[in-house]
Amino acid sequence: MADLTDAVERTYRAQAERLWHALVLFCGDREVASDAVSEAFAQAIARGSGIEDVHRWVWRSAFNIARGELKRRGRQTSGVPDLPAEVPIETVDLVRALAKLSPKQRASIVLHHYAGYSTKEIAGIIGSTSGAVGMHLDRGRRRLRDLLGDDDD
Amino acid sequence: MTDLNERLKGIDRLTPPDLWEAAQIKAEGGLTSPSTPSLTRRLAIIAASLAIGLAAVGLVMIAFRSDPSASRPVTPGRHAVENGDIWVKVGGGDGETAIYRVDPQSVRNPEAMWTDSGGTFGDTPVAPELLADDYAFSPDGSQVAFSAQEDQGSGEVPRELFVMNADGTGLRRLTSDRAYAGFPDWSPDGDTIAYASYRGTNYVPGCLGSSICPTDLYVIDVTGGTPSLLVAGDVSETTPSWSPDGSSIAFAEIGEDGVGAIVTTRADGSGRVELAPTGAVSFPSWSPDGTQILFLKMQDGTNHLWTVNPDGSGHHDLADTRTDTNFGRPLWSPEGDYIAFARPYAGVVSLWIIDPAGDRSPERIAGWPGFAGSPIAWRPIPAETMPSASDVTALVSSSGPSGDTALLTGTLTAENGCLAVSTVYVVWPAGYSLSEEKAGIWLVDDSGTLVARIGDEVQMGGGITNLAHAEPEVVGGIPSSCEVGSPDAYWFAGTPEAVIGSLVANGAADMEATRLPGIDAYRVCRVLALPGDFGDAGDEVVVFEEERVPGAGCIGSEGFQHVAVLRDGRVTSLSRRITDFDIKAWRVWPYATPDLDGDGEDEIAVALSDGGEDRRVWFFMLAPGGGGVEAVYDPQQPFTHVIGGDAAPLPRGIYCDGEGKARRIVTWVATGAGKLDVIETRWRLETFRVVFDSETTVHIEKRGYPDAGDVELCGSPVSLRRAYPSA
């Protein structure tokens, strides 16, 4: 148990910050992100054994939990992200636009363009196939370009 | 989009909170109720891709076949059930007691339903009469039977059977055996309850299992009445469990020394079969699919979960409960995909689940520090109400866009015992969204058997506004050997490769595709709008995208877009490549209009939008006889509805915003030479009132109009009335 908790804590120290940021991008809500991170790590600790890859397990659980929480709260809410002033306005706009994507498109965009995961790794996190992730990325980017009216390409 | 990464990195300016301590507290605080993604029922879907080549074009057909081991035929009207909550009794003995329910798929904390002690369990209702033992749910989960002492103060302390609704209402007494009645189990048809009963006068708590008060098995109608003896013998026959087909009953025969056997008989008590292994065995439970019997067996000082085939073969040590305490019957999930049982964890009795094959380690669901908690029943919940086959026929039929009802379209054949389900699209009107639960969207074959439902992976697909692409979750048995179906045509829109044409079941899990002549020359990589009916002449409009870079599909590159008009399965009009408009997502409002430009031929105006909050509309004018796009108009206005006017001489449109309010009226007219002119600017300003149900909600400014009348506007009937300026 102690070994496992150590492994979970090591993963926490290495991943929690990036995971939390990714979840804020995904949900636009720091509270949901914090809940998802703490719940995912709590479950990893409580699970006791049987987690082969804590890193991957925690990312998958946290995104699952966050998605479940958003679903529970209902996505009808404004889409105005709960982000303080230190976040650049371009990022706030982007988070607002991300909120209009489907959860899988949004997760794919965040996990790829922010967290740097490959489509295969993303498929493992969001429960999909790498081909489908490629599609989510393509559609998500098109939709973002649409929403943001990008003129940089 | 080159700065997407940089923009995302702006979030790094935020400082995350330190959540490690919170995680530890949550983990050690006892009431952890992890979400268990592995519990999410996902029946295996085998997606077989088959490239069907016509010329150099690869078309991918995707079909689905259920995993035979996971196949679970469901018949409407029977008890099609899903996994509900697990009920757990916490406390007991001389201490406070409560019944909790645990949702194994939720992150919600377990919730106490009833308690015998106010205050300790917060606002939980104090209802000691509902705290009992041996809970058993009716097959549809609506009622629960249990064994309880009716009068704890009496010397005989008889235990009788009671039945209540699952919400605790409607409590009624079932037996009057005046000694002991326990371990009820409902017959699969829900009409009868089998139970263990001792009817002598020697009953005292704790005597069960000894020769002082041996129990026999009885059955009783759920409405009450006189019980019938099922099985009697010298030792205790107890803990009956019906086979799911209702033909047999498994139970434990236990002698005074605690040693016994798991036994099955036919439902009338005849045909006794003793199953191996014998020993200190207890609590047999028939699996929902009827293939296994689960039971507890004491070995090496602890209780183990064992399974055995109903014929006595194939016994298997599944898991160790790591305690010599017998916490009672391990539970099958109603779907049969999990087993719940109690096992201590760090000194706390916890609820665990394990898969019946034992392929994975048990997962801990929840624990209650300081309490002895054990699962008592796993509630089945009825599967979502399924429509009749006729309803589904309507859903499956490929219909045009718009309308107030969600339409299901895609590919489905169910003929001659051959069923193939492929990509399914759901179309719903603007302003609506598909609920995440997607209730009510089912596929049922001609016999009324549920074969598929839309899974929870509905996505915006194909770049089509209001068109969701879903991979159906196959939940029913699809015959693995299919006969070739009749050549009914189904429009198919796939991505990244696509076909516009007909599909015919070919006897395998895929289907033969024949592409529509006239479109087959194009490398279609995306179907942007499925064929939609319009007009009275049987015309349909389809919008598709042609691969811009050969072999690249539509992924990563913009294709060339086309609008085609079809009649009787033939292309009657096909636009040239539309390169001036970047149309992302689509909805089609086709208008059959008379000769707009005076060239002697009727034209067709098609409005396309890109959906979302930035809806814009384009109008393409096509001559039915061919000739491609004659005119295009991009008014650059957001809207949700376009009302096509048929009030000659000119078509007109009304834009409505996202809240269903009319913004303005625009009329347009073709001038020939590939252009449409907006003519509102040429008219004088007048004001019309738009009345919704007698309530004035918006004014429409409009430059002069000769008449007005009742129209449907933004989905509501509207009266247009001339309102003369007061001054």
Please tell me whether residue B708 adopts helix, strand or coil conformation: coil
pLDDT tens readout for residues B269-322: 999 999 877 788 999 999 998 999 999 999 888 999 999 999 988 888 999 888
Q: Please state, rounded to an integer, the average pLDDT across all residues of chain A.
A: 81
Q: How far apart are CA B216 and CA B52, in angstroms?
A: 65
Give residue A151's pLDDT.
Answer: 41
Does the pLDDT of residue B481 top 60, yes or no? no
Q: How far apart are CA B599 and CA B359, in angstroms?
A: 74
Mean pLDDT of B546-561: 65
Mean pLDDT of B659-670: 41
- In the structure, what pLDDT confidence band is assigned to residue A134 with cuts at 50, 70 and 90? confident
Q: Give per-residue burial for B608-619: e unless 16+ CB within 10 Å, then b.
A: bbbbbeebbbbb
Does the pLDDT of residue B709 top 60, yes or no? no
The DSSP symbol for B578 reads B
Give residue B263's pLDDT.
Answer: 95
Count of CB atoms within 10 A of residue B344's CB? 16
pLDDT above 90: percentage of residues in chain B? 16
Higher pLDDT, A35 or B295: B295
Does the pLDDT of residue B641 top 80, yes or no? no
- In the structure, what pLDDT confidence band is assigned to residue B684 with cuts at 50, 70 and 90? very low
Is B625 exposed, middle or buried (CB count within 10 Å of its CB: 0-12, 13-18, 19+)?
A: exposed
pLDDT tens readout for residues B54-73: 111 111 111 212 222 222 22
Give residue B152's pLDDT.
Answer: 56
Q: How far apart are CA B370 and CA B91, in angstroms?
A: 8
Does the pLDDT of residue A51 top 90, yes or no? no
Give residue B527's pLDDT.
Answer: 63
**Which residue, among B19, B28, B32, would best test binding to A if mutated, counting the most A CBs under 10 Å from its CB?**
B19
pTM of the model: 0.44
Q: Please state, rounded to an integer, the average pLDDT across all residues of chain B.
A: 61
Give residue B618's pLDDT.
Answer: 52
Contact list in B for residue A113 (CB cut-off 8 A) is: 4-5, 8
Identify the top-confidence range among B137-141, B252-256, B276-280, B564-568: B137-141
Residue showing tokens 């004014």: B699
CB contact B20 to A (< 8 Å): yes
Does the pLDDT of residue B100 top 70, yes or no? yes
φ, ψ dihedrals at A63, nearest 5°:
-65, -35
Give residue B58's pLDDT.
Answer: 16
Higher pLDDT, B74 or B171: B171
Angle at B440 between CA B408 and CA B244, to 5 degrees: 120
Q: Give the closest-approach CA distance of A94 to chain B in angstroms.
A: 7
Give residue B374's pLDDT.
Answer: 67
Q: How far apart are CA A5 and CA A42, in angstroms?
A: 10
Does the pLDDT of residue B580 top 70, yes or no? no
Identify the top-confidence range among B176-190, B335-349, B458-472: B176-190
In chain A, positions 24-53, which contact chain B (CB-CB < 8 Å)? 24-25, 30, 34, 37-50
The DSSP symbol for B244 reads T
Residue B16 has its nearest CB partner, among A21, A25, A127, at A21
The DSSP symbol for B388 reads P
Contact list in B for residue A86 (CB cut-off 8 A) is: 13-14
Does the pLDDT of residue A78 top 70, yes or no? no
Q: How far apart are CA B381 and CA B572, in angstroms?
A: 52
Give residue B187's pLDDT.
Answer: 94
CB contact A74 to B (< 8 Å): no
Taking CB atoms and an 8 Å limit, are A150 and B614 in contact across chains?
Answer: no
Taking CB atoms and an 8 Å limit, are A68 and B22 in contact across chains?
Answer: no
**Which residue, among B5, B14, B352, B359, would best test binding to A if mutated, counting the most A CBs under 10 Å from its CB?**
B14
Give residue B671's pLDDT.
Answer: 37
pLDDT tens readout for residues B393-428: 222 222 223 222 333 433 343 333 333 443 444 443
Residues in chain B: 727
Taking CB atoms and an 8 Å limit, are B27 and A42 in contact across chains?
Answer: yes
The DSSP symbol for B660 reads S
Taking CB atoms and an 8 Å limit, are B35 and A61 in contact across chains?
Answer: yes
Does the pLDDT of residue B368 top 80, yes or no? no
Here the tokens at position B116 are 């015998």
- In the structure, what pLDDT confidence band is assigned to residue B532 with cuts at 50, 70 and 90? low
Contact list in A for residue B35 (CB cut-off 8 A) is: 39, 43, 61, 64-65, 68
Give residue B163's pLDDT.
Answer: 95
Residue A146 has its nearest CB partner, among B22, B23, B584, at B584
Give residue A125's pLDDT.
Answer: 85
Mean pLDDT of B355-361: 80
- In the structure, what pLDDT confidence band is assigned to residue B585 with cuts at 50, 70 and 90? very low
In chain B, positions 494-533, which contact chain A (CB-CB < 8 Å)? 495-496
